[in-house]
Each structure stands twice: as C-alpha cells, then as structure tokens.
Structure 1
C-alpha cells in the first residue's frame, strides 16, 4: 500500500493519540471528516493500523516488576522455535516475545507483581520448558523511554 503525506500524518497522530476523534483528526490533516474516516478505514483494512489500545501503568495495576529474559534454545529448527513461541504465548506475564539473531534466540518482556512470582515463572515455565538451554534475566530498574509504534516521517 502506497502511503501519501496525509496517510502518514494520520498514522502519526493516531499513534500518539488513538482516542482522537475523527473530526479532530480530519481537522489536523486538512480534510473533512468523511474522507478522513475512509482513509482510516482503508489503513485498518490494509493492516497498517492493527488495533487500538490503552497504555496502562503497570505499577498502579500491581505489576511493578519488569524483567527482560534472554532465552537460548538447544535447537533452532522451525518446529522447535514455533513450539517455544506457542509455549510463551500461554504465559500471561510474558508481554512480549521477540526472536533474535545472534547468541540469544528470544528476548521476553515479563511483567510480575513481585520477585517471587517472577522466580516461579522462571523456574516452572521458562527453564523447565522443552528445548530451553538457558535463561538469563535482567531486572528493569527504571524506564527512560517507552514509545509505542515507529517513527513516522510525514514526507511522502
């Protein structure tokens, strides 16, 4: 899908504020509401916009602990990678799972209410999982930046 300058402006604005009304969005990009809504729907149907969500404060919801776990597998065969991905998809505290290139096969972002819970996740769900060779973890001390999405240049 070819994106023009207005599409990119729409994406940048919605990425910053997904609750913006269509009227406000249209005004900001210089369109009337109906064509703006058609563009947004087109971006949604094309899969460029995959969804909308609220950014919640983990600590206020009882999850002050964020840990990044680096997982190495014994086998990187596609079947084994998919098996591991399905396994971690079933662990609610695992919020992100990314396959990497290099020594580490996956990095996981884990939200936990306390260190005991994280340790339980580590020992019962991660290190005990089939094909896992090792897990190294790092506890987050502070988050200096957390920007969702990607930087969008509005130049067409």
Structure 2
C-alpha cells in the first residue's frame, strides 16, 4: 500500500489548508476540514511524522527583495559517472542564486532555476560561478520574461 493511497479526504483537506496557510491555528484548521481539534491534531502530527509535511516557512517575494531576474539554465557535464554527479550536486547547494536544480533525462544533464538582481548580475554569476562548477562542459540560458504561474505543490 502506497503512502498516497493511505491518505483519506481529511488528510488531503489538511494538506491543502496548511499548504495555503502554514500558520493556520489548530482551531481554524479543524473547523475548515470538519474534524474536532484532537483528531485533527493527531492527523497533522501523523502527516509530519510520515514526512508528508516537511516543514513550515514564510514565502518571500523575491521581486520585492530585489531579485527579479530569473533564468533557466541547461547544464551539460563532461562526466556523468556517480562521483561527478555527486560533486556537481554538492557544489550547487552552496549557491543561493540557484533556487532549483533538477537532474534531467534528455539532451542535457541538469536544469537550474537561477535568480539574480538583473541580467548583469546573472552574467557575472554565469561566468564566475556556474561555468566553474565541477564537471560543467556547457550551459545554455533561457531568460524568463514573465512568471505566469508559480504555485505551491498542493492545490
């Protein structure tokens, strides 16, 4: 039995509610999902313990914080053996400009979402950082002109 199949309508309602408002009170959560506080809290704790809910955090507005430039970068590595992949994976962790890093099955190895203040800052980051990451042989940049949809996972 998979974890997903073990979740019922109440669990899904709880997940939807906390994904929309991580600061929702237990009282409001229980009212919203139609459970009393005790079983609602037990379900919430169970979802946390199972790792379905990994944590709670504030969603910051990067544009208001001065980081409006978004680029998606295809990365090809010179070497794709396990050690090279691990080296690259570790290296991207230390750069906050890299918001996301996904290993891709296709004509390149990784897709990165990179956020900087502007195109000049991105160019510097590309030349001084991205191109010097372990085993990088080639990159191709796609600049986002507008974000049409950036939502939570659980809707």
Q: Same fold (TM over 0.5)?
A: yes
The two structures, once aligned, show a CA RMSD in angstroms of 1.2
Who is 1:24 aligned against?
28
Who is 1:154 aligned against?
none
Q: Which has the higher contact order (CA 8 A, sep 6+)?
A: 1
Who is 1:110 aligned against?
114
Look up the SS of the partner of 2:64 in the other structure.
helix
Between the aligned partners of 2:71 and 2:147, the Cα distance in structure 1 is: 11
Who is 1:52 aligned against?
56
Between the aligned partners of 1:65 and 1:74, the Cα distance in structure 2 is: 28
Look up the SS of the partner of 1:116 in the other structure.
helix
Q: Cα deviations across residues 119-154 of structure 1 (Å, max 9, x unaligned)? A: 121111111223111011111110111111144xxx
Q: Does 1:68 align with 2:102?
A: no
For these two proteins, the number of residue pairs brought into alignment is: 151
Who is 1:92 aligned against?
96
Q: What TM-score do you get using the length of structure 1 for normalisation?
A: 0.91
Between the aligned partners of 1:104 and 1:17, the Cα distance in structure 2 is: 37
List runs of 5+ in structure 1 lacking aligned partners. Answer: 152-156
Look up the SS of the partner of 1:49 in the other structure.
coil
Between the aligned partners of 2:29 and 2:79, the Cα distance in structure 1 is: 48
Look up the SS of the partner of 2:71 in the other structure.
strand
Q: Does 1:121 align with 2:125?
A: yes
Between the aligned partners of 2:69 and 2:62, the Cα distance in structure 1 is: 8
Between the aligned partners of 1:96 and 1:19, the Cα distance in structure 2 is: 25
Q: What TM-score do you get using the length of structure 2 for normalisation?
A: 0.92
Between the aligned partners of 2:134 and 2:10, the Cα distance in structure 1 is: 48
Runs (4 or more) in structure 1 with deviation over 4 Å come to none
